[in-house]
Amino acid sequence: MTSVTHSVPSVSQSSINYEAVIGLEVHVQIKTASKVFTRVAAGYGHEPNSLTDPVVLGLPGALPVMNKAALDAIIKAGLLLGCEIAPVCKWDRKQYFYPDSPKNYQISQYDQPICLGGSVEIELPGAARNVMGAHKNIPLTRIHLEEDVGKLNHGATESLVDYNRAGTPLMEIVSDPAMHSAEEAYAYLTSIRATMIYGGISDCDMEKGQLRCDANISIRPVGQAKLGTKVELKNLNSISFVRDGIEHEIKRQLAVIERGGTIVQETRDYDGMTGTSQSLRTKEEAHDYRYFPDPDLLPVAVDAAWKARLQAECPELPFAKQRRFQADYALPYTLTSVLVWDRALADYFEEAAKLSGKPQAVGNWIANDLLREIGHAKIELASSKVRPAHLAALVQLVEAGTVLNQAAKEIFTEMFATGELPEAIAEKRGLKAAPTDNNELEQWCRDSIAANAKALAEFKAGKDSAINAFKGPVMKAAKGKANPKLVDETLRRLLAGM
């Protein structure tokens, strides 16, 4: 286990090492067609207050009804993260007055969350870019389902409320206080995001508020079991703000201790633009949410068949895929890192690898050429005209020696533009290696060997690489269109007889 420690230059003789303890509360908006307790559509970027109905607006007499797709999604998230799915879960009202909350209570889960335990696998930075870092499982406390609130837009003299976001299904993923550095928190959030996107649970676009994060941070002397006083840091609105904000808060707490002060339990607001934070409220000012079971919603029992159906829909997660790619396809770490974080890309790779039987070559084409072209064209992988079958066919042409590397690059570019099959492009543009007359090739090989006695002697003395010296003149004679594999074979056959 990695634990990052911070040394505080002490005013006294001895210097104490402190360690940070971090727990994250991550809110993930669930991607469902409609809102969590009513049929009105969920969405982002619509005309303000257009995604509303009596239920969303909390009009007199309106009642919530659970959206089963949202339940499916959170159970799936729980299964992906190894949580225990509660056999029965219930819904509670979390009560506080704020204009973004139309009912002045939020339907949430208090003491019987739907997912308990579980963990998030993270990877810490390796010693170098091409070296895999240490892996670690961050234990989860719980995941629960709740409804999102509306959005306030503050003007100079008044505030406007947009309830479009209100009622969007939201899950809160709560970790144990088990992280010890901003890097770990960063890796944790990255892993959660990948998992949710993989599971089709959320798009996790932080700019659209689909992934939001609050951090509970404390410090304690290394070796001390008891947790220090925690500070909750809010508004960590991008993944880099999470890292910067936590880093900032750890330093702030160390500085307080260093000055001989004590940490106050409070909620602080982090401003990512200025890299500063300020106190929002202290423990004494904390809300009493007066949770109680929502009498409008019945408890939900999740049976084995329901879980099994969702379990069957759970995809392999990125780290598991990465281990499999390394084991099954003998891919290097860096290449797997490129392939596994995007589920569509990983699937694309596997399909092309299976079709061609050449995973390494396919991986290289994807990492070096396909991603570059997609980036230039600013398109999604799904709309690339180069499908796995195209790429597999191209790899096979190169492997068979039918086209040479330089020609293959040209074929790829055209294939990307037109979607034509590589064979057809090679044919049309005369990019195939010349169909060589074997007698002619053999004669060029004999000539080349005869012209280089030194290399012949070296080869006979056991230096295998000396054979390369014969290849240049042969290719020259063939005007570059000879099949290199055939040249190699022919040379070896002739040399063996000498």
Partner 1 sequence: MTLPLHLQAITELAAQLAAKKISAVELTSAVIARTRATEPRVHAFNSSDEATALAQAAASDVRRAAGQSCGPLDGIPIGLKDVIAVKDQPLTASSKMLAKFVSPYDATVTTKLKNAGAVLHGRLNCDEFAMGSSTENSAFGPTSNPWDLARVPGGSSGGSAAALAAGSAIATLGSDTGGSIRQPASFCGVVGLKPTYGLVSRFGLIAYASSLDQIGPFARTVEDAAIVLGAIAGHDERDSTSFKTAIPDYRAELAARRGPWRIGIPKEYFGAGLDPEIGAAVEQAIAFYKKLGCEIREVSLPHTQYCLDTYYIIATAEASSNLARYDGVRYGHRSAQAKDIVDLYFQSRAEGFGAEVKRRIILGTYVLSSGYYDAFYLRAQKVRTLIRQDFLNAYQEVDALLTPTSPIPAFKLGEKSDPLAMYLCDIYTIGVNLAGLPAISVPCGFTKTNLPIGLQLIGQPYQEANLLALAQAYERGHEWNAKHPNL
Rounded (5°) CA angle 139-143-35: 150
Q: Per-residue contact track with partner 1, 152 to 191, x per CB under 8 A?
A: -------x-x------------------------------
Q: Per-residue contact track with partner 1, 249 to 288, x per CB under 8 A?
A: ---------------------------------------x
Q: Which of 291/306 has CB closer to partner 1?
A: 291
**Least distance from partner 1 to the Cβ atom of residue 298, Å:** 5
**Least distance from partner 1 to the Cβ atom of residue 35, Å:** 14
- Cα 438 to chain centroid distance, Å, stands at 52
Q: Which of 205/292 has CB closer to partner 1?
A: 292
The DSSP H or E segment spanning 349 is: helix 343-356
Q: Per-residue contact track with partner 1, 86 to 125, x per CB under 8 A?
A: -------x-x-x-x--xxxx--------------------
Q: Which of 98/463 has CB closer to partner 1?
A: 98
* CA separation for the pair 449, 132 (Å, rounded): 46
**Least distance from partner 1 to the Cβ atom of residue 295, Å:** 4
Could you say which residues in the range 25-54 bind partner 1, by CB under 8 A?
A: 54
* CA separation for the pair 170, 77 (Å, rounded): 12
Determine how β-strand 231-236 pairs with β-strand 266-271.
Answer: parallel
* CA separation for the pair 40, 218 (Å, rounded): 41
**Least distance from partner 1 to the Cβ atom of residue 292, Å:** 5
Q: Where are the alpha helices (DSSP H) in 37-114?
A: 68-80
**Least distance from partner 1 to the Cβ atom of residue 60, Å:** 5
**Least distance from partner 1 to the Cβ atom of residue 111, Å:** 11
Task: Tell me how far CA of residue 32 lies from CA of 14, 237, 239, 310, 315, in angstroms.
Answer: 56, 22, 24, 16, 18
* CA separation for the pair 336, 141 (Å, rounded): 30
Q: Which of 296/427 has CB closer to partner 1?
A: 296
* CA separation for the pair 183, 165 (Å, rounded): 31
Q: From the CB of residue 37, how many other CB atoms can be counted at a distance below 10 Å? A: 23
Collect contacts of 455-464 with beta carbons under 8 A, ≥24 apart.
456/495, 456/498, 459/495, 460/495, 460/498
Q: From the CB of residue 421, how many other CB atoms can be counted at a distance below 10 Å? A: 16
The answer to the question of residue 65 lying near partner 1 (CB under 8 A) is yes
**Least distance from partner 1 to the Cβ atom of residue 158, Å:** 10
Q: Which of 51/138 has CB closer to partner 1?
A: 51
Which of residues 116, 222, 297, 494 is near partner 1 by CB under 8 A?
297
The DSSP H or E segment spanning 126 is: none
Burial class (CB in 10 A: 0-12, 13-18, 19+), 2: exposed
Q: Which of 16/57 has CB closer to partner 1?
A: 57
* CA separation for the pair 236, 247 (Å, rounded): 12
Q: Which stretch binds partner 1 (CB under 8 A): 4-12, 58-66, 129-137, 274-282?
A: 58-66
Q: Which of 61/430 has CB closer to partner 1?
A: 61
Interface with partner 1 (CB under 8 A), residue total 29
Q: Which of 98/457 has CB closer to partner 1?
A: 98
Which of residues 5, 6, 43, 58 is near partner 1 by CB under 8 A?
58
**CA-wise closest residue to 77 among 211, 206, 177:** 211
**Least distance from partner 1 to the Cβ atom of residue 396, Å:** 56
List residues binding partner 1 (CB under 8 A).
54, 57-66, 93, 95, 97, 99, 102-105, 159, 161, 288, 290-292, 295-298
